[in-house]
Chains A and B, each alone.
Chain A
């Protein structure tokens, strides 16, 4: 019997602070064992439990995309015990991971449709995985138009800035970045994500929307999507809840009869509508 609670060893290859508040750090992990690397297959939207022995475990969405073969990336928001340890750990050290866990984004369902990606703050991680996946030449034809609306409080708090610059140069993706307060160098939009979305008014025609961000952003963005005539079946979000086991055993992340860790974290609004508002 394989023990799903045992982490597999990874080595921290590189770590970088992403944001000006220094609270977000991206870790690039390489597999310690060849066989683990070969058996590890995931799709965007899945997550892993990262373990620092002695401190504990916590779940993080995979920020790299499946086509980046060399390393797994995670962006960690420093908040609690484990995340603080993950901010302190040095390159070359060992980190345990369990995963990939969860359902991931419904990429089969997205096939042949347009994609509207809406992200806020540090919840952009798995969205980055999703966009990077589709921007790869192998996959670019799987979806049609890609529109990304990404907001943060300040320019310094946007994640993956180098990559955003590259996306801006491409013509097969429309990137709209927005901040609440700009600075003198800021060239993107200034305003809240829901308002920017209203302004650019993307068509809902044959389009799937994916939203990830703080609850308040989701709360105000959702009605805008409804106004743009997105049906609930085509609006997806990735939920976060306190999790421990990540495999549907320990109980705490349930919303109704579904478990965020096992049946999610990605849910459509059509699904969420039928569940208690336990999130």
Chain B
């Protein structure tokens, strides 16, 4: 089902959503820096930054999340209380790469044996409104990783910016719940044509040549490759790429307590931090940047694919854009794919 949402009505549309839902959307914190946050009023929503620094994963898997709280009272043993989600949620303005990434994390956090209830509960109760990318960046390579700037997979509703209006597609059962909405007007063939035109133009812009196809097999042969001795050299070991990555999902669990009250909290963690794998004995199975860089890349392009059948990279380009030393994951993939002894081998910087 396809509709047209006039931009003049957009704030009203959001206002209505806020009546019934918790709404999450990109918010600008300062010029050039946006993150996904819970919205209190429509004016906060800012869709201008194509890739907000922090991805939409934060809506389902916040960087700091209280798992449960407890109070210790005498010999009674602690009373434990969990947080519950009160209202249905909407994620608005997430780009196809971020939405794809949510399904990648979902595969880990749900599963036959154990389900991460915190993630699963939020996922279940969230309707996702995707937004197509009219102007992909030069660092975008979603089309190389199986997605695209208008990939609708995972979206319940999908918006395309037509200039004065949004073209609205309802894609799933959750999306169909929006079919009666006073701000949606039936889309006409002109809208459809314009949408297609924008989609085609954007899709052509995205880099399809990053060699992701078959990377798992190639990396199988590279576990002990001298490549890793060089690849990590310029990495300074900060957590920018992993924290901003929409598919990275490692976390740390700690207790924070004062006297008798406390909480168990989980926080994002990064495999690039030395203490991530440091054991109490002092032994560190990944003692240098070499092993840690290898872990980061292998997890995305070899380990995860072995377990779930696709790469854990959606080509959003955040790790390229925000790396303090310009570690370019695309070039690492090119290197891993180059035939030994051929020209591009030495290119990795």
Physical contact A–B (CB less than 8 Å) = yes
Q: In the complex, are the beta carbons of A55 and B277 less than 8 A apart?
A: no
A/B pair count, beta carbons within 8 Å? 116
- Is B252 in contact with A9, judged by CB distance below 8 angstroms? no
What is the CB-to-nearest-CB distance from A237 to chain B, in angstroms, rounded to a whole number? 14
Given that A242-B279, A251-B250, A276-B298 are known contacts, is A54 also in contact with B72, CB under 8 Å in the complex?
yes
B64 at interface by CB-CB < 8 Å: no
B250 engages A4 (CB within 8 Å) = no
Which residues of B, 282-315, contact A by the 8 Å Cβ criterion? 283, 285-286, 291, 294-295, 298-299, 302-304, 306-307
Residues on the B chain within 8 Å of A94, using CB = 77-78
Partner-contacting stretch, out of A38-46, A133-141, A254-262? A254-262
Query: How many Å from the CB of B307 to the closest CB on chain A?
Result: 5
Residues in B neighbouring A3, C-beta threshold 8 A: 82, 117
CB distance from B315 to the nearest CB of A (A): 21
Q: Which residue of B lies closest to A242 (CB)?
A: B279
Smallest CB separation, B66 vs chain A (Å): 11
Q: Is the CB of B262 within 8 A of A1?
A: no
Alpha-carbon distance between A80 and B78 when the two chains are bound, in angstroms: 23
Distance of B39 from chain A, by nearest CB (Å): 27
| B186 in the interface (beta carbon within 8 A) | no
Q: Which of A53, A79, A250: most chain B CB closer than 10 A?
A: A53
- Per-position contact with A for B245-267: 1 when CB-CB < 8 Å, else 0? 00001111111010000101010
Which A residues are CB-close (under 8 A) to B276?
242, 252
| Cβ-defined partner of A251 (8 Å) among B77, B114, B249, B283 | B249
B282 (CB) vs chain A CBs: closest residue: A79
CB contacts (< 8 Å) of B299 on chain A: these are 251, 254
Chain A: minimal CB distance from B115 (Å): 6
Interface size class of B (residues with CB under 8 A): 35 or more
Q: Any chain A CB within 8 A of the CB of B238? A: no
Assuming the A-B contacts A92-B75, A257-B307, A276-B223, are A251 and B262 also in contact, with contact meaning beta carbons closer than 8 angstroms in the complex? no
- Across the interface, name the chain B residue whose C-beta is closest to A94: B77
Provide the B157-183 mask, 1 if CB < 8 A to any CB of A, else 0: 000000000000000000000000000
Inter-chain contacts of A247 with B (CB < 8 A): 113-114
Check B82–A9 contact: CB distance below 8 A. Answer: no
B271 at the interface (CB under 8 A from A): yes
Give complex CA distance A262, B254 in Å. 20
B residues near A53, Cβ cutoff 8 Å: 70, 72, 78, 255, 257, 262, 264
Are the CB atoms of A5 and B67 closer together than 8 Å? yes
**Residue A249 CB within 8 A of the other chain:** yes
Q: Is B60 an interface residue (CB 8 A)?
A: no
In this assembly, does A173 line the interface, its C-beta being within 8 Å of a C-beta of chain B? no
Question: What residues of A have a CB within 8 angstroms of the CB of B188 in the complex?
Answer: none
Point out residues on B near A: beta carbons under 8 Å.
67-68, 70, 72, 75, 77-78, 80, 82, 108-109, 111, 113-118, 120-121, 223, 249-255, 257, 262, 264, 266, 269, 271, 276-281, 283, 285-286, 291, 294-295, 298-299, 302-304, 306-307
Q: Which 6 pairs, one residue from A and one from B, show the smallest C-beta to C-beta distance?
A: A251-B250, A54-B257, A257-B306, A257-B303, A94-B77, A247-B114
22 contacts between A and B (CB under 8 A): A1-B120, A4-B114, A5-B68, A32-B77, A53-B72, A57-B255, A94-B77, A240-B279, A241-B279, A242-B276, A245-B251, A247-B113, A248-B114, A250-B253, A250-B266, A250-B269, A251-B269, A252-B250, A254-B295, A257-B306, A276-B294, A278-B277
